[in-house]
Structure 1
Amino acid sequence: MSDLLLSAQHLTKRFGGLAAVNDVSVDLFRDRIHAVIGPNGAGKSTLTNLLSGDLPPTSGRIVLGGHDVAGRSPERISRLGLGRSYQKTNIFLPFTVWDNVRLASQASERHAAWNPLNWISAASSQRQVNQRCERALELAGLTARAHSVAGTTSHGEQRQLEIAMTLATEPSVLLLDEPLAGMGQAEAESMVALLLKLKADHAILLVEHDMDAVFTLADQLTVMVNGEVIASGAPESVRNDATVQAAYLGEDH
């Protein structure tokens, strides 16, 4: 059995009388990709926001690395080993690829904010920061693009860069919100290959609309509709579930 790295139990998030997420549980294991699918408004991104600390849950428990992190800030959760990418690419376009990843690496330093030595030393001289940066770029397949301005790279490379920035914080758990959005076939195939490579050392929660990619990648599949889980299990079992087909996948799947 793979290591259980994150366990969320009975998560609920209410906005007034609306339950955007209602009693959802999910376990994330190293060397496994857990995909969450569903129509727009199903609660997938809200679930991701709860796990990452971008939103506090109304109720429920999230255990990461032995710590109950429900309601903690994104910064504290990140330092416990969780990395997250967003639907919208979130990078510094005027900076080089290297500088984007180095900033993420610097931010993960436990005492980065208040250590006076960091104020007077050149960022390029911080050995551990640079080593994390080099490793993240290599994992993401961007070493050859390190000195390119981020704004001049392709859409697919920018999505890879966002993942590289996440990897620079050395997470054990990755939350990836639609990493294939807007990609052509070749870029999507490269991203699928990258995620398959990353899963060996990480637990991955994948929110994605590309069903071909989902069924290629997922070891576990959860389907959400109107904030609730309607099915969860092995991908083939979920694919053949009549309720899922009626609510989301349709006859072609």
Structure 2
Amino acid sequence: MVGFKAALINEIEKLYKKKKVLVAAIVSLLFIVLGQLSIVGLRSGFGVRGVSSTDFPLLVLSVVVNTILPLFTALVTIDAFSGEYSQNTMKIALTRPITRLKFFTAKITAVMLFVAVNLIFVMFFSTIASFIFNSSSFKALDIIKIIISYLVTLLPMMVLVLFIVLFTNILKSGISVFFVTILLFMVFKTLGIVFSSYSGILFTSMMNWYNLWIISDVSFIKILRQFMMLLSYVILLFTGSYYLFDKKEF
């Protein structure tokens, strides 16, 4: 446990020093500001009502989790694996008294912390913006729905992270991993739209599974089914990724 904690702290420090983290925060904040200004403009210029106190943070989440967050998650994940492969720094890290499994898990945990912090950042500022412009319709239940929505989004994002990690251990070039994962992400999204009846087996179609948690008529059967599907993805991708990582010679 001590070795894992030391490795995790080291990975977090490396992530903290990356400019990608700051850029992701700035882009997310700009998106929130521009989104809220656009809604205010539509409301005042065209008489459109806009969105309620709950709708805006969820609208932001829906867009961010399908565009900005996957993009920066891919960059951070690739940098954590392919970046160290190409710079030959992975070998130095593995000379420490720590198993490969703990080291591998520490890297994934650090990336997931990046995702979690990003989601919290977006949730906080989108909620604040919504409260400022829609304070009259704000209720305590809205806060609970928003928190639940952002919290459960971590699971499909974990699947995406492991999906990218798998390719970092297959392809040597970080650029190749980036384009392949982005291309496959877009292909899966398209397949989910074209073949909507089979979209349930694609993890990209589960990015908005938080909707199942906040609807008035909650279906625990559907939630459990998608949870088991996502959990299966996590187990398979983690096992496959670690197997390839363990077989690598550094």
Per the shorter chain, which TM-score range?
A: under 0.3
Could you tell me the TM-score, scaled by structure 2's length?
0.25
Larger Rg: 2
Higher helix share: 2
Could you tell me the TM-score, scaled by structure 1's length?
0.25
